[in-house]
A = this chain, B = another copy of it.
Amino acid sequence: MSASAHLQKAATNQNNLKPAGAGGVRQRQSLEARHNLIEATIFCLDKFGYADTSIARIQDQAKVSRGALTHHFPSKEELVIATIDSLLEKLLRPSLPSKKLSQTDIVADLRWLARNITGTARGRALSEVLMATRTDKKLSARVSARLTDWNTKLDEAVVGFYASPNGDDDDVRQIWMIARTFMRGLILQQPFTPDPAQIEQAINRFGTLIAPYLETRKRDGVDDAKPL
């Protein structure tokens, strides 16, 4: 039932109703199918956009039958919501970044942020869905709580990494909210400014705008996930 229980390569044990370990072959295949469908949905959202992401396209991409798709996700809305859950989960705790946080260069962190929001299929897929939630009230009603929760968690994580020179944590939260907003806006600005170099310069300039108001906190060795 839980859409967020998946993806474990080893599939050692499911913390489901049954506490017993070693989920059966059946469950394993099922979770794998779900995972494939979600990944296919992300791919289609990124490549074709929300408007042209049909379930026919998704099942083609995932190479599963129509029956299998409708079995795991009885409606398109269920599939989209499961996809959103997957996106949020992965974006909050991304696979350990190759480089640790720069600790000194905020602009480098901003570039990492930009890549996560506009530079990956997952980030762009999320943007497509976010845009859709604006007008799709049914979808919005089902995911808005998740989104605000996610945003709050993010704020908490950010405060763990950065501090304000004047000690106001709320300002740190606000600055990073502005940063995220700016990064999301890049997707909509790109049609106007197709030159990647210009985009990168803007990111760098934005970094100089917010840098005076942020200090990196001393890290305590734990290689926690980066905040978005």
Interface set of A (CB-CB < 8 Å, partner B): 46-52, 124, 127-128, 130-136, 140, 143-144, 147-148, 150-151, 171, 174-175, 177-178, 180-194, 198, 201-202, 205-206, 209-210, 213
Tell me the minimal C-beta distance from A192 to chain B in angstroms: 4
Copies in the complex: 2
Q: Given the known A-B contacts A136-B49, A148-B194, are A187 and B188 also in contact in the complex, defined by CB atoms under 8 Å?
A: yes
Provide the residues of chain B in CB contact with A182, threshold 8 Å.
Answer: 178, 181-182, 185
Q: Given the complex of chains A and B, what is the CA–CA distance between A46 and B50 in angstroms? A: 16
Provide the residues of chain B in CB contact with A209, threshold 8 Å.
Answer: 178, 209-210, 213
Tell me the minimal C-beta distance from A76 to chain B in angstroms: 12
What are 10 A-B residue pairs whose CB atoms fall within 8 Å in the complex? Answer: A50-B51, A130-B191, A131-B188, A133-B191, A134-B190, A177-B189, A177-B202, A178-B202, A184-B184, A185-B185
Tell me the minimal C-beta distance from A46 to chain B in angstroms: 8
Provide the residues of chain B in CB contact with A49, threshold 8 Å.
Answer: 131-132, 134-136
Is B144 a contact partner of A194 (Cβ separation < 8 A)? Answer: yes
Provide the residues of chain B in CB contact with A189, threshold 8 Å.
Answer: 177, 180-181, 184
Q: Given the complex of chains A and B, what is the CA–CA distance between A142 and B147 in angstroms? A: 35
Q: Max chain B CB contacts within 10 Å: which of A124, A130, A144, A188? A: A188
**In this complex, what residue of B is CB-closest to A49?**
B135
